Amino acid sequence: MVEPTLNVTLIHSRRDLLSSEPLPDDFKERVLVTLQQTGVDVILSSRVVDVVPVKYTDGTPTSRLILKDSTHIIASHVIWAVSRSTPTSSYMPPSTLDSKGYINVEPTMNIAIDNPNSQKHFAVGDIASWSGIRRCGGAMHMGHIAALNIYQQLLSNQTGCIPKFTKIAPFPAMIALAVGSKAVVYSPTEGTVSGEEQMKLYFGEDLGLTSKSLMSA
């Protein structure tokens, strides 16, 4: 969009885009088609095994990407993407973690462990083990729930009243992706939809930077 004369190539080691997310096949296919319509070259089922710095005769720094099938691609700029994050929870007791290293939490965002101190500790965002896709909107909602319950604890300590804790509901798998001038959106109620109207609805004119609806997206 910003540099329309540049060629953009997306390389993904799996046969489907968004392979780590619990999304239907038609959404992943729509994302692929929309990317290609935007002019992005997509290479699936291939992996970059080496990057060799090179320079053109005019001194311009570039990189030679070597794929697992020995294909070479010359790129002026390389952006590495991590599809599956690693939780930074090594400092936590193993009893608080699930099999993937995320912190088990209650619907109140308290750490889920049979320990008197568990009600004084909270975990939200990417480090918490919760349903749905890890999105900024979900993380902000979790933080809101935790803040409400922390306030209830403080109020109870000061006044002796019974705290009224708020519980968070499970997140269904949903997502909105901005792809060029269009957005590709999935929700359990409406399925997969895409187009310029979805782009305006979910991202406005600036990728949602000034959109109040982003807080609940």
Q: What is the pLDDT of residue 25?
A: 95
Phi/psi at 34 (nearest 5 deg)? -65, -40
Task: Please give the chain's pLDDT, 217 residues, in tens.
Answer: 788 888 999 999 999 999 888 899 999 999 999 999 999 999 999 999 999 998 776 777 789 999 999 999 999 899 998 767 788 898 999 989 999 999 999 999 999 977 777 888 999 999 999 998 888 888 999 999 999 999 999 999 999 999 999 999 999 999 999 999 999 999 999 999 999 999 999 998 888 777 655 444 4
CB 121 within 8 A of CB 111: yes
Q: What is the pLDDT of residue 152?
A: 95
- Cα separation, 217 vs 212, in Å, equals 9
Name the residue among 175, 195, 172 with its Cα closest to residue 185.
175
Two tokens at 98? 């699930």
Distant-in-sequence, close-in-space partners of 2: CB < 8 Å, separation ≥ 6:
none
- Cα separation, 166 vs 107, in Å, equals 8
Residue 20 C-alpha from the chain's centroid: 10
Q: What is the pTM of this model?
A: 0.77
Q: Where are the domains of the chain?
A: 94-159
- Cα separation, 78 vs 134, in Å, equals 25
Q: In the chain, where does DSSP find H-type helix?
A: 25-38, 136-159, 196-203
Q: What is the pLDDT of residue 214?
A: 47
Phi/psi at 156 (nearest 5 deg)? -65, -40
